[in-house]
Amino acid sequence: MKYLIPIFHLFLFASFPVAATAQDKNTAPPILDIQEVVSDEGITAWLVEDHSVPVISMHFAFKGAGSALEPDEKQGLVQLLSNTMDEGADDLNSQAFQKTLADNSISLSFSGGRDNFGGSLKTLTKNKELAFDLLSKALVKPRFEEDPLERMKKSNLSRIKTSLTDPDWIAARLQNDLAFEGHPYSRNSGGTLSSLPKITAEDLRHFVQKEFTKDRLIVSIAGDISPEQVKSMLNKTFNDLPKKPESSSETKNVVLKNGNETAYFGLDVPQSAVRIIYEGIQRDDPDYYAFQIMNQIFGAGGFGSRLMEEVREKKGLTYGIYSSLQRLNHAQLIVIGASTQTKTVGELLSTVDQTIQDIKKDGVTKQELEDAKSYILGSLPLGLTSTGAISATLLSLQEENLPKNYLDLLRDKIKAITQTDVAQVAQRLLTDDNRLVIVVGEEKPGSTTREITELPNAL
């Protein structure tokens, strides 16, 4: 997953002008005035200047350095790495490092996804030199001391033990186990009860030295800083990283596995968790934007969606139901999720089936189409009003290899979608013969083809 802003939601910002340059009267101003800055050492960053407030926000990522690279026996390594990168570096132990951050109002955090590893930094302009120096130390000379490492291990182990009684967590775990069976994405990025105790400080240090390299680095910055200052910062912060990684195993693409199964995991809980999973759609697919509109109408639009109307409002089978697109670098899934009483699992599944058949057969109404377009083009205008949100958006664009004017291009793409486009993409993707159903609860649904008795990537 993309660990900051899900890139498939970026189209929601497509009508909000955050920054403008001189434009022809007949041309819409750019949504973001993005500058590409390259340091003397060849390190690149995307920058949006904003000198109205003395704050600087930065996001960065190492593409391809996510948990998909973990060995099977060291699942959770990247998660543990993200927990401990700010727990001391160079000459500062954990307490001294955290105190320096707090005393200077510097926010520094790290996050690891399946595909990428990254982080964010926010600082007052007056403290920028110190902030960038602390980040550099964390990336190049992390300490991984025993006490904070063991503390974070215990925290992650406790989280897993608690999650083993959560039907939604188990359903999500089984989704990865089954949909990505045999692929690195099937592993538990949060770790397992047996793998976490095996991870050592040397494992973390080796991963950093091997995978955190300049050729994988992408950087975005927004706020009170000039291009020349950015160039200097890039050199000071990132120039000590190695240039290229050692040879790493390459993650391959994967399509939906077990697409004709209904899998069941028994758990003594009052509400059963249900997942219905289809093969997804790539961003460069011609039908991608038609799918986004279809999904908004079908299940991503909250109380206005068809799934909520049919399953909750009319039949009262659940408190909430959704559909979403899970996009990874090497896989895409359409996921429908809900919880319901054990006795109504069958009715919920049949109601979802009928809702799918209706949108495939009859498409969407003109009013639904226009409402979805209006929402997409007009939603979340506040999403780009802070330097942190802007910086996160710039990073997401780079993670997806999208052009700087991508947000501007979306307006025309969304406006051009027709009712026919939406109907066709529903027929193409919501297929009857290639979907995976997962139920976690007290009773096995009648259509079960596979009963799961243990979670291989949890214990």
What digits encode the pLDDT tens for the residues 110-140?
Answer: 999 999 999 999 999 999 999 999 999 999 9
**pLDDT tens, residue by residue, 8-44:** 344 443 333 333 333 444 566 778 899 999 999 999 9
CATH annotation of 7-17+30-238 = 3.30.830.10
Best CA proximity match to 333, nearest among 402, 397, 410, 254: 254
Establish whether domains 7-17+30-238 and 262-381+401-452 are of one fold: yes
pTM, 2 dp: 0.90
Q: Edge-to-edge, what's the strand order for the sheet holding 271-279?
A: 321-328, 331-341, 271-279, 435-441, 262-266, 450-452
Per-chain mean pLDDT for the chain: 90
Q: Edge-to-edge, what's the strand order for the sheet holding 35-38?
A: 35-38, 44-49, 217-223, 55-62, 117-124, 107-112
Structure confidence at residue 394 as a pLDDT band (50, 70, 90): very high
Three-state DSSP state, 248:
coil
**pLDDT tens, residue by residue, 422-449:** 999 999 999 988 999 999 999 998 877 8
**pLDDT tens, residue by residue, 266-314:** 999 999 999 999 999 999 999 999 999 999 999 998 888 999 999 999 9
CATH annotation of 262-381+401-452 = 3.30.830.10
**pLDDT tens, residue by residue, 229-279:** 999 999 999 999 999 867 666 789 999 999 999 999 999 999 999 999 999
Using alpha carbons only, give the angle 125, 128, 130 rounded to the nearest 5 degrees: 145
Report pLDDT for 458: 78
Report pLDDT for 6: 40
Structural domain spans, the chain: 7-17+30-238, 262-381+401-452
Sign of the torsion angle spanned by Cα atoms 36, 38, 42, 46: negative
